[in-house]
Amino acid sequence: MNRTLWVTLVGIALSAATPAVARALRAGSSARCAEDGARLAPRRAVEVEEADGRAARLCGIECLERRLHRTDRPAPRSVRVHDEDTGALLDADAAWFVRSAVVDRATGDRTHAFATEAAARRHAEAFHGRVLPGPGLPALRAAKEAR
Ligand SMILES: [Zn+2]
């Protein structure tokens, strides 16, 4: 195969694939919160396994708290949040939560999750925060106990 033909074939393949690639990228960037439809930011998104086993993604911890305060839905089976320091997913029941002066620009959230109590206390001290009784999120504990 000569070089010109090869380049032409690659060009045709790329132009044919472009609409599919563009659609895939748009789908990824337009992922929305299951509670309020807000755009999801990868390191703020909360991963919920609902009581019926379905997965839901929420835009942030305070959005999760609003969802948990609604008594018309059963408590989720499990919730995972991102560690503020590393971005790693943590089981919310084992994480430590801090409300502080640090406001997430996308969600307006002032609540942050940490893998350890020590990390939570460091953040609280540095940013005028308050460590919530833990480990775990009080609203999630309450929802599990009540329902
Ligand atoms: Zn939300």
The Å distance, Cα 110 to ligand 1 centre, comes to: 14
pLDDT at 26: 45
Task: Return the beta strands (E) in the chain as ranges.
Answer: 46-49, 55-58, 78-82, 89-91, 96-99, 111-114, 130-131
pTM beyond 0.95, yes or no: no
The Å distance, Cα 67 to ligand 1 centre, comes to: 9
The Å distance, Cα 33 to ligand 1 centre, comes to: 5
pLDDT at 107: 87
pLDDT at 72: 83
The Å distance, Cα 69 to ligand 1 centre, comes to: 14
pLDDT at 5: 53
Question: Six-digit token pair at 13?
Answer: 């393949």
pLDDT at 137: 97
- Which residues have beta carbons under 5 A from ligand 1 (an ion)? 33, 35-36, 38, 58-59, 63
The Å distance, Cα 108 to ligand 1 centre, comes to: 10
pLDDT at 70: 87
pLDDT at 106: 84
pLDDT at 29: 52
Q: What is the mean pLDDT of each run of 10 residues along the chain (147 residues)?
A: 54 52 49 94 94 96 94 91 97 98 92 98 98 97 88
Q: Edge-to-edge, what's the strand order for the sheet holding 55-58?
A: 55-58, 46-49, 78-82, 89-91
pLDDT at 24: 46
The Å distance, Cα 57 to ligand 1 centre, comes to: 8
Measure CA 18 to chain center.
29
